[in-house]
Structure 1
Amino acid sequence: MPARFLPAAALGAALALPAAAETTYPLSLTNCGVDLTFDKAPESAVTVGQAATEILYSLGLGDKVLGTSVWFTKVLPEFEELNSKVERLADNDPSFESVVNRKPDLVAVQYEWHVGPQGIVATREQFADVGIPTYILPADCWKKDNTTGSDGTRQALFEMKSVYAGVTELGRIFNVPDKGEELVATLKSREAAAIEKARALNLTGASALFWFSSAEMDVDPYVAGRKGPPGYMMEKLGLRNVVESDEEWPTVSWETIARANPSVIVVARMERRRFPADDVEKKLEFLKTDPVASQMDAVKNNRIVILDAHSMDPSIRNVTALETLAEALPAFGLK
């Protein structure tokens, strides 16, 4: 992230870091259960997942990105010009051929299900067979079982250090370890400040619901389970998640949600249009007009927060989501 976008305290923390030594190759690491060895820094990459794309951009590696895919929202504003020059292979899931045809030295992946045993794009073995290593962001397999549930099941509460691990490892892989450490230091500083601000409210009985999308407007919505990134945000901000599932994004009926009556509803805004409820305006209209959803206190009192969808999945944007929520909560008069 360019210095001009950093808060003064965060910038000071970043500048105070000692310069990291260059990566020593060969570099060996274990990534989501697969051993990887890099004899040198990759000269090029293709990304499958917006989180991986924005990490590489933030590390100053945009010139090495040959193609991107799987986008939920617009790219971070500071990277709009850079991103406009990078080929978008697909808005959603790219084909194996489209990735391989770019002949990247590395494929950086956000979700294991894109390149796992039942990979939607291909398996890691298929990529290895054509000489292309794959790196999955650790946050998607960190204390998580991706063989259960549509998006996997977390075995422990999400930790931001899983995101920071991906930043640090990609910095080492591409021989820019100093940039990785600077970015992590900045994010940690901002994360701590947002948590401190929210904790000062001393919330004890407030609850929340995170609504990502719905396959159809009148069916059970995809909402955040209690152990994913939104669960982490709620725990840090003093909010109780009304959804008790450990699945990443379970479906829960509106009748069940209404009975839980969350104090705050957080809805996802995205550019993707795979499902009708991807449109945030349709979400808001549903909440106001549905006979069940409209009766919740959060809807009646307009205690609704809009977040970029990508900030609800493991990514460097989780810190921005924390900041947005910490800014919004004081106005709601919660206890």
Structure 2
Amino acid sequence: MSLRFASLTLAAALCAASAAQAQTDYPLTIDNCGFPISFDGPPENVVAIGQAATEVLYALGVQDRMAGTSLWFNEVLPEFADADATVERLADNAPSFESVVNKRPGFVPTMFEWMVGAQGVVGTREQFADLGIPTYIMPPDCEGKDNLVGADGTRLAPFDIATLYKSIEEMAAIMDRAERGAEIVTDLKAREAAVVERAEALDLPDASAVVWFSSADMELDPYVAGRKGIPAWMLERLGLRNVIESDEEWPTVGWESIAKADPSVIVLARMDRRRFPADDYERKLEFLKSDPVTSHMSAVKQDRIVILDAEAMHASIRLIDGLETLAEGMAALKE
């Protein structure tokens, strides 16, 4: 077991006596992103659409009640490898509506509203509801956000990590694992506070960054993190200024504009999916070092480039992992 969850084992033992008090009182009804969902008991045959939702379920220890998973960006966390081996991968990217409903799921959680929503790639919430299947959108992707504007939605308010913690606690309640959910949230909050303290100790008052997720083509403008999304929250928590000012989740911005801003640090997403050429972080590195515009940026010339797993840039249990890796990379700014 990794150190990330070792503390949870001790906490679980200490809280065993009170675990019965944390059992979910069914029937349970939750207002999820303006859509009410109800459960008469712990759901079976759960199909998760999105790595973030899946790994929350693995952390809750309910893989035995899962019938499928889909939409992955990185390899599963090592501590969840055994759990993942028992759950069918319906698709590496978006699954079909039929592949999901054929599992007769009692619960379909997703990390993105564009998977299951008004313009859902997989289906709408109404389509699933008509079949008696409750769907759940993780709150970070719907609260304070308009997913009908921009390719990946537009933030109406800055990302709040409280929505991630809410996701974990609500999914835990749905699955009758409230005690476990509380332990996970407590651990993540403690790690968040610790890494912020380490970053503040670096005392970098004028440091800036840009976060490059991917590009539809290497010759096209990159998808970079907007100023109100999850990566922007990560930068702000660690005292870095995001040089991108768009409210879109992942706007495309020209390299000339980025080079003019000359960020102190460039953050690159590493992922195992290959939807676009720039999904390969090594292709990103090659581009930065060879392009006549980007090769003259200070961060490129001085090798101030941090590689983060794409899933650590999402509202997932890996988010604090990403903060910790980014804080380690920031130390190079003191050299």
TM-score interval for Structure 1 and Structure 2 normalised by the shorter chain: over 0.9
Contact persistence 1:15–1:182 (CA under 8 A) = no
Aligned partner of 2:225: which letter?
A
User: Which residue matches 1:285?
Assistant: 286
In structure 1, distance between residues paired with 2:6 and 2:58? 19
User: Which residue matches 2:105?
Assistant: 104
In structure 2, the CA distance between the partners of 1:165 and 1:280, relative to structure 1 (3 Å rule), is: same
Unpaired segments of 5 or more residues in structure 1? none
Deviates more, 1:216-225 or 1:321-330: 321-330
1:207, CA displacement in angstroms?
0.2
User: Which residue matches 1:48?
Assistant: 49
In structure 1, distance between residues paired with 2:315 and 2:45? 24
1:85, CA displacement in angstroms?
2.3
Please give the secondary structure, in 2, of the residue aligned with 1:67: strand
User: Which residue matches 2:257?
Assistant: 256
In structure 1, distance between residues paired with 2:10 and 2:297? 44
In structure 2, distance between residues paired with 1:275 and 1:316? 25
Using the size of structure 2 for normalisation, the TM-score is 0.95
In structure 2, distance between residues paired with 1:207 and 1:240? 4
1:220, CA displacement in angstroms?
0.3
User: Which residue matches 1:229?
Assistant: 230
Unpaired segments of 5 or more residues in structure 2? none
Matches of residues 233-312 of structure 1 in structure 2 within 5 Å?
Answer: 233-312=234-313
1:159, CA displacement in angstroms?
1.3
Contact persistence 1:14–1:186 (CA under 8 A) = no
Matches of residues 38-117 of structure 1 in structure 2 within 5 Å?
Answer: 38-117=39-118
User: Which residue matches 1:184?
Assistant: 185
In structure 2, distance between residues paired with 1:204 and 1:120? 42
Contact persistence 2:63–2:86 (CA under 8 A) = no
Aligned partner of 2:190: which letter?
S
In structure 2, distance between residues paired with 1:45 and 1:272? 23
In the alignment, structure 1 residue 169 sits paired with structure 2 residue 170: yes
RMSD of the TM alignment (CA)?
1.6
User: Which residue matches 2:31?
Assistant: 30
Contact persistence 2:116–2:123 (CA under 8 A) = yes
In structure 2, distance between residues paired with 1:211 and 1:118? 26
In structure 2, the CA distance between the partners of 1:297 and 1:12, relative to structure 1 (3 Å rule), is: farther
Using the size of structure 1 for normalisation, the TM-score is 0.95
Identical residues among aligned pairs (%)? 58
In structure 2, distance between residues paired with 1:30 and 1:233? 28
In structure 2, distance between residues paired with 1:225 and 1:290? 23
In structure 2, the CA distance between the partners of 1:7 and 1:105, relative to structure 1 (3 Å rule), is: closer
Aligned partner of 1:128: which letter?
A
Please give the secondary structure, in 1, of the residue aligned with 2:122: coil
1:39, CA displacement in angstroms?
1.2
Contact persistence 2:255–2:294 (CA under 8 A) = yes
